[in-house]
Amino acid sequence: MKQKFETRAIHAGCEPDSGTGAIMTPIFQTSTYVQESPGKHKGYDYSRTHNPTRTALEKNIASLEEGKYGLAFSSGMSAITAITHMLSAGDHIICSDDVYGGTFRLFDKVLKKFNLEFDFIDLTSLQSLERHIKNTTKLVWLESPSNPLLKLIDIEATARIAKNRGIVTVVDNTFATPFFQKPLKLGADIVMHSTTKYLNGHSDVIGGALVMNDQELYNKLQFLQNAAGGVPGPFDCFLVLRGIKTLAIRMERHAENALKIAQFLENHPKVRRVIYPGLSSHPQHELAKRQMTGFGGIVTFFIKGGLEAARKFLERVKVFSLAESLGGVESLIEHPAIMTHASLPKEVREKIGISDELIRVSVGIENVDDLIDDLKNALA
Ligand SMILES: *Cc1c(COP(=O)(O)O)cnc(C)c1O
């Protein structure tokens, strides 16, 4: 019988060290490996190409996503960059309109110069997807739940439309994590992660990963990982591997706390609207129940009173830390329009709904009573 998620999170890719029996994967802090005879080695010749600590992490993440192949990167952005290196000038990419700010910046400010063409569209509409596909479309890029508006995209339907036209579907699964959502099983071709967030979970590493099933895609991406060189160091791989061991219990607590906080905010008179896929008020709650097994740890809400009220509230929280990023054990809170999504032009922000009243919360795994008390005091 196939091992369950919690078991694989702890054991997949991790054998006791053959030389010493060490139970934890050693940090192979080496750049090169001694060869017996020219070209004759134990599978490792140079650490940009392969490193044993990284291999363990790559196998582990692949196992969690129920994919065949994993690749680890020095950041989420370098994982995204590797995918874009598969493209050629003239190719067209369809991307969901409220993607991670850094993804938008890379596509819009860097890759357009290389004559790649992008359409940023509302992928919650399958008609809109169909309408934007061209002969040159090579990639559909989506995040679900999206950041920061927690819109859901039907991964299965999107991937089916793309696959029929020979287009590769990439899902940034950073928010949901494989504990709550498995895009490859829904038909996506590549899953991308910023391991900086939930997978590592302790706000002390920057890292990225890709997982896929298709061997040809893997060969291309592994070639690009080595050719472009955005690889993580062995110590970072060790830290992410260690973080992942507790992913299952962390995600359970993140989601449990997030639902309670979403319910508290939904009933607060100073809150205009709360967005959380686990609330029945979420417009895509049914889709969330269908494609996810839990609703994650991110809650967003609109505070009444404009920028002034948002600023005052954010200055007053004490348990929540006012900071960018998400997915760590500690609760973070932020203002997307000024902080994480400042790289989006104001017109784009307003068009998609990132207003000055929008606040994003990354709910940590502290005691939820302390978190709710903190919000209550800051709102008062
Ligand atoms: C953080 C993040 C990224 C970028 O990852 P880095 O590790 O910061 O390079 C991409 N997508 C999402 C959804 C993220 O939250």
**131 part of the active site:** no
**Mean pLDDT over residues 161-166, rounded?**
98
Residues near 329 by beta carbon (within 8 Å), at least 6 away in sequence:
201, 202, 203, 250, 364, 365, 366
CATH classification for the domain delimited by 248-379, as one of 3.90.1150.10, 1.10.3720.10, 3.40.50.2020, 3.20.20.80: 3.90.1150.10
What are the pLDDT digits (tens) for 277-327?
A: 999 999 999 999 999 999 999 999 999 999 999 999 999 999 999 999 999
Angle at 201 between CA 322 and CA 103, to 5 degrees: 70
Per-residue confidence (pLDDT) for residue 348, from 0 to 100: 83
Per-residue confidence (pLDDT) for residue 221, from 0 to 100: 98
Pocket test for ligand 1, best of 174, 190, 332, 344 (most atoms within 8 A of CB): 174
**Mean pLDDT over residues 155-167, rounded?**
98
Predicted TM-score (pTM) of the model is 0.96
CA–CA separation, 33 and 50 (whole Å):
10
Per-residue confidence (pLDDT) for residue 153, from 0 to 100: 98
Per-residue confidence (pLDDT) for residue 350, from 0 to 100: 86
For residue 348, what is the enclosing H or E element? helix 346-352
Ligand 1: residue whose CA is nearest its atom 7? 76
What are the pLDDT digits (tens) for 96-124?
A: 998 898 999 999 999 999 999 999 999 99
**100 part of the active site:** yes
Q: Please report, for the chain, the start and end positions of each structural domain, with discontinuous segments joined by +.
A: 5-244, 248-379
Per-residue confidence (pLDDT) for residue 312, from 0 to 100: 96
Residues near 290 by beta carbon (within 8 Å), at least 6 away in sequence:
none
Per-residue confidence (pLDDT) for residue 343, from 0 to 100: 79
Distance of CA 76 from the midpoint of ligand 1 (Å): 5
Indicate if the pLDDT at residue 342 is higher than 90. no
Instruction: Using pLDDT thresholds of 50, 70 and 90, give the confidence band for residue 232.
Output: very high
Q: How many CA atoms does the CB half-sphere of 240 hold within 13 Å?
A: 33
Which phi and psi angles does 225 have, rounded to 5°? Answer: -60, -45
Per-residue confidence (pLDDT) for residue 101, from 0 to 100: 87
Of 175, 100, 91, nearest in space to 140 by CA: 91
Cα of 319 vs its chain's centroid, Å: 25
CB 84 within 8 A of CB 70: no
At the topology level of CATH, where does 5-244 sit?
Aspartate Aminotransferase; domain 2 (3.40.640)
Pocket test for ligand 1, best of 194, 200, 324, 334 (most atoms within 8 A of CB): 194
Which phi and psi angles does 100 have, rounded to 5°? Answer: -45, 135
Residues near 280 by beta carbon (within 8 Å), at least 6 away in sequence:
none
Per-residue confidence (pLDDT) for residue 52, from 0 to 100: 97
Count other Cβ atoms within 10 Å, centred on residue 13: 19
CA–CA separation, 371 and 320 (whole Å):
7
Q: Which atom of ligand 1 is nearest to the CA of 196?
A: 7
What are the pLDDT digits (tens) for 63-72?
A: 999 999 999 9
- Could you tell me where the DSSP H helices lie in 229-246? 234-244
Query: Is ligand 1 within 6 A of the CB of residue 75?
Result: yes
CA–CA separation, 145 and 237 (whole Å):
26
**373 part of the active site:** no
Query: Is ligand 1 within 6 A of the CB of residue 102?
Result: yes
What are the pLDDT digits (tens) for 343-376?
A: 788 888 888 889 999 999 999 999 999 999 999 9
CA–CA separation, 162 and 159 (whole Å):
5
Per-residue confidence (pLDDT) for residue 323, from 0 to 100: 96
Query: Is ligand 1 within 6 A of the CB of residue 250?
Result: no
Which residue in the list 54, 98, 100, 374 is annotated as catalytic?
100
Per-residue confidence (pLDDT) for residue 236, from 0 to 100: 98
Of 230, 146, 135, nearest in space to 181 by CA: 146
Per-residue confidence (pLDDT) for residue 322, from 0 to 100: 97
Q: Which atom of ligand 1 is nearest to the CA of 103?
A: 10
Which residue in the list 97, 98, 172, 374 is annotated as catalytic?
172
What are the pLDDT digits (tens) for 121-139?
A: 999 999 999 999 999 999 9
Residues near 253 by beta carbon (within 8 Å), at least 6 away in sequence:
365
CA–CA separation, 276 and 341 (whole Å):
19
Per-residue confidence (pLDDT) for residue 352, from 0 to 100: 85
Instruction: Using pLDDT thresholds of 50, 70 and 90, give the confidence band for residue 341.
Output: confident
